[in-house]
């Protein structure tokens, strides 16, 4: 059986290396070019976040992308290399975490996650849900080291700081710190003293030191926005728009009351109806946990480690609830920890001849999961035949960028009417300056009876009349809100375009309007 385990790991390792090589030809898409464009506006035109750029991301997201651009620039290949370096760093952390169970399961875990990450294609690359795994995984590694038990207070500060790094990108991601802190407390007090009165005092002390590490790190990006001058608009966006945005589900449908509750319950108990990967992974993960308790009955440290690993799986099964959209990216953190659990099905304690039947069943189930579920990148076969990577939005980005580059003159401004379907990406490539703060138009079409939405609609039309952008890019092939209090109509905008603009260029799913001379 050991030969079979090693053979499976070698095969998957070769597949992973090929997928990583193929991915170097990908181009950035989805959120990344939009965030790069925001940084471009800050760099080139001194735009103030939230004041000159209307966006619902938290400040840490901008800081992260700003640092990344300072290091590698705006290029696609450099971005791909940065993504692969981040993945390799996570591999290293995963190896250090799992090598206590043997080289084979440690390698299996990191390889399976790498294949899962790359299987999603460029849409998943450097998503914040992936980036945030790194500080939590590093904190996980630290709390399992003997050093962390000797320096209890310092450990709390470090875990708090790492949790704050993830929270600065995705506020609810820091929920992973809860089992980490409880594990630190468990290790410090011991199982016998865990429920004694003085144990609660020690736990409170640890929480205080965790806060000492957490709060200053979290304040840094907020202080940056404050110094830039965008703090009032940041507060207004968080207070007035975020509750409306989170009221929509992953299909951008507004929900209330019972419908919303049922939707959340269905998504939680099915681990996301948009993909079956997590459900299929659940069985080998449970078996992997069970095997550790059976094969290492005398090793409390390994059993405690698995309890912590299972706790992180559970916490990050709750994480998509906080996002409310249940998109594939939101399940990536849970899948990371589930994969580590599932890799334990390949555990083989040295010299142990017991539980042969259990080990055989676990091996068969894990191989069954790999055969039925694990796949290379979606463009793997095309790329291995020498074909070029699929361009972003099936070529729309390049078409719009080419038109803008060919027709823009110095001083021209451009206004996108789009939501993640290529217009802003094209403006980044063309180095076009946006006309108004609104890089998306999604917010104009949901909760239209809300005074805040009505106000920003009026604000947008007023700014369009004042600035008079040379070009307006209207993308029609894009996600639209649906449900109660939504619309696809914007009469004031339609009237403005009809009276002052003409169609200068038309492509698949988009039109470019040019102002009348």
DSSP collapsed to 3 states, 139-190: HHHHHCCHHHHHCHHHHHHHHHHHHHHHHCCCHHHHHHHHHHHHHHHHHHHC
pLDDT at position 269, please?
83
User: How is residue 324 written in tokens?
Assistant: 């409310």
Q: Answer yes or no: are the C-beta atoms of 453 and 63 closer than 8 Å.
A: no
Q: Each residue of 364-374: pLDDT tens digit?
A: 898 898 998 88
User: How is residue 198 written in tokens?
Assistant: 């003085």
- 3-state SS class at 299: coil
Class for domain 392-515, per CATH? alpha beta
- 3-state SS class at 503: strand
3-state percent helix, strand, coil for the chain, nearest multiple of 5 = 70, 5, 25
- 3-state SS class at 129: helix
pTM of the entire predicted model: 0.93
User: How is residue 93 written in tokens?
Assistant: 């952390």
- 3-state SS class at 133: helix
Helical H segments across 46-145, by residue range: 59-72, 76-98, 103-119, 128-131, 133-143
What secondary structure does DSSP assign to 210-267, as a single string?
A: HHHHHHHHHHHHHHHHHHHT-HHHHHHIIIIIHHHHTTB-TTSBB--HHHHHHHHHHH
Contacts of 388 (CB under 8 A, 6+ apart): 25
- 3-state SS class at 515: strand
β-strand 501-507 against 471-475: which pairing, if any? Answer: unpaired
Beta partners for 248?
254
Q: Where are the domains of the chain?
A: 8-382, 392-515
What secondary structure does DSSP assign to 10-42, as a single string?
A: HHHHHHHHHHHHHHTT----THHHHHHHHHHHH
Task: Give the long-range contacts of residues 477-480, CB within 8 A, separation 24 or more.
Answer: 477/421, 477/508, 477/509, 477/510, 478/418, 478/419, 478/420, 478/421, 478/509, 479/252, 479/419, 479/420, 479/421, 479/442, 480/252, 480/445
pLDDT at position 191, please?
58
Burial profile 164-180: b = 16 or more Cβ within 10 angstroms, e = fewer:
bbbbbbbebbbbbbebb
504: Cα separation from own chain's centroid: 37
Rounded distance between C-alpha atoms, residue 172 and residue 168, angstroms? 9
Q: Each residue of 161-218: pLDDT tens digit?
A: 999 999 999 999 999 999 999 998 877 776 566 666 667 778 888 899 999 999 999 9
* Ranges of residues in the chain whose predicted pLDDT is under 50: none
β-strand 433-434 against 471-475: which pairing, if any? Answer: unpaired
Rounded distance between C-alpha atoms, residue 162 and residue 511, angstroms? 45
Contacts of 483 (CB under 8 A, 6+ apart): 248, 253, 254, 255
Radius of gyration from C-alpha coordinates of the chain: 25
Rounded distance between C-alpha atoms, residue 3 and residue 9, angstroms? 10
CB neighbour class for 376 (10 Å; exposed up to 12, middle 13-18, buried from 19): middle
Query: How many C-beta atoms surround the C-beta of residue 148 within 10 A?
Result: 22
DSSP run (H or E) holding 514: strand 510-515
DSSP run (H or E) holding 327: none
pLDDT at position 472, please?
97
pLDDT at position 51, please?
94
The sheet with strand 433-434 has its strands ordered as 433-434, 413-417, 471-475, 510-515, 501-507
């Amino acid at each position: 059986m050991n030969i079979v385990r090693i053979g499976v790991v070698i095969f998957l390792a070769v597949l992973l290396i090929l997928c990583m090589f193929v991915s170097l030809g990908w181009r950035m898409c989805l959120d990344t070019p939009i965030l790069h464009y925001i940084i471009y506006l800050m760099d080139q035109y001194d735009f103030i976040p939230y004041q000159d750029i209307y966006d619902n991301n938290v400040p840490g997201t901008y800081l992260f992308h700003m640092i990344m651009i300072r290091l590698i620039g705006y290029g696609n290949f450099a971005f791909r290399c940065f993504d692969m370096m981040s993945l390799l760093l996570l591999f290293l952390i995963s190896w250090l975490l799992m090598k206590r169970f043997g080289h084979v399961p440690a390698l299996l875990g990191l390889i399976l996650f790498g294949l899962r990450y790359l299987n999603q294609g460029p849409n998943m690359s450097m998503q914040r849900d992936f980036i945030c795994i790194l500080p939590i995984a590093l904190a996980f590694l630290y709390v399992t080291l003997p050093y962390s038990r000797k320096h209890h207070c310092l450990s709390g500060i470090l875990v708090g700081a790492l949790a704050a790094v993830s929270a600065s990108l995705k506020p609810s991601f820091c929920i992973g710190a809860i089992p980490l802190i409880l594990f630190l407390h468990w290790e410090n007090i011991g199982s016998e003293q865990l429920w004694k009165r003085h144990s609660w005092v020690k736990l409170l002390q640890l929480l205080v030191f965790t806060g000492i590490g957490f709060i200053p790190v979290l304040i840094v990006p907020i202080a940056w926005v404050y110094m830039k001058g965008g703090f009032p608009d940041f507060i207004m966006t968080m207070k007035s728009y975020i509750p409306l945005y989170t009221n929509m589900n992953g299909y951008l449908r507004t929900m209330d009351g019972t419908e919303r509750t049922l939707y959340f319950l269905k998504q939680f108990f099915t681990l996301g109806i948009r993909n079956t990967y997590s459900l299929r992974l659940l069985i080998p993960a449970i078996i992997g946990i069970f095997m550790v308790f059976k094969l290492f009955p005398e090793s409390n440290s390994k059993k405690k480690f698995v309890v912590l690993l299972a706790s992180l799986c559970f916490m990050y099964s709750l994480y998509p609830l906080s996002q409310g959209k249940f998109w594939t990216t939101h399940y990536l953190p849970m899948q990371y920890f589930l994969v580590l659990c599932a890799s334990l099905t390949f555990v083989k304690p040295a010299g142990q001849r017991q539980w042969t039947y259990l080990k055989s069943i676990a091996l068969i189930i894990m191989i069954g999961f790999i055969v039925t579920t694990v796949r290379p990148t979606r463009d793997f076969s095309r790329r291995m035949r020498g074909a070029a990577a699929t361009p972003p939005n099936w070529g729309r980005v390049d078409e719009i960028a080419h038109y803008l580059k060919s027709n823009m003159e110095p001083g021209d401004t451009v206004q996108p009417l789009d939501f993640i379907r290529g217009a802003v990406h094209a403006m980044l490539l063309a180095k076009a300056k946006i006309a108004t703060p609104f890089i998306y138009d999604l917010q104009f079409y949901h909760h239209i009876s809300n005074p805040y939405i009505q106000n920003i609609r009026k604000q947008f039309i007023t700014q369009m009349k004042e600035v008079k952008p040379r070009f307006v890019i209207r993308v029609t092939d894009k996600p639209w809100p649906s449900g109660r209090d939504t619309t696809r109509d914007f009469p004031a905008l339609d009237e403005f375009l009809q009276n002052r603009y003409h169609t200068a260029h038309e492509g698949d799913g988009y039109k470019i309007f040019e102002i009348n001379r």
